Amino acid sequence: MAKNRALIVVLVTTLLAGCAQPAEPGRAPLPTQPRATAPPSEPTDSFQQNDLIVGTVNRGGSGPCYGLITDDGRQFALYENRGRELVKGTRIQVRAEPSLLRIDCGTGELFQVTALDVLN
Q: What is the pLDDT along the chain (120 residues), one digit of tens a residue?
A: 666 566 565 555 655 555 555 555 666 665 555 566 666 666 555 555 557 899 999 999 999 999 999 999 999 999 998 879 999 999 999 999 988 888 999 999 999 999 999 997
User: Could you tell me if residue 22 is inside a domain?
Assistant: no
Residue 30: CB atoms within 10 Å: 7
User: Could you tell me if residue 25 is inside a domain?
Assistant: no
- Quote the pLDDT of residue 71: 93
Which of 90, 98, 93 shows the shortest CA–CA distance to 52? 93
CA distance 14 to 109: 65
Structural domain total, the chain: 1
> Which residues span the domain enclosing 97?
51-118
User: Could you tell me if residue 56 is inside a domain?
Assistant: yes
In this prediction the pTM is 0.58
User: Could you tell me if residue 108 is inside a domain?
Assistant: yes
- Quote the pLDDT of residue 39: 66
CATH number, domain of 56, equals: 2.40.50.140
User: Could you tell me if residue 21 is inside a domain?
Assistant: no
User: Could you tell me if residue 97 is inside a domain?
Assistant: yes
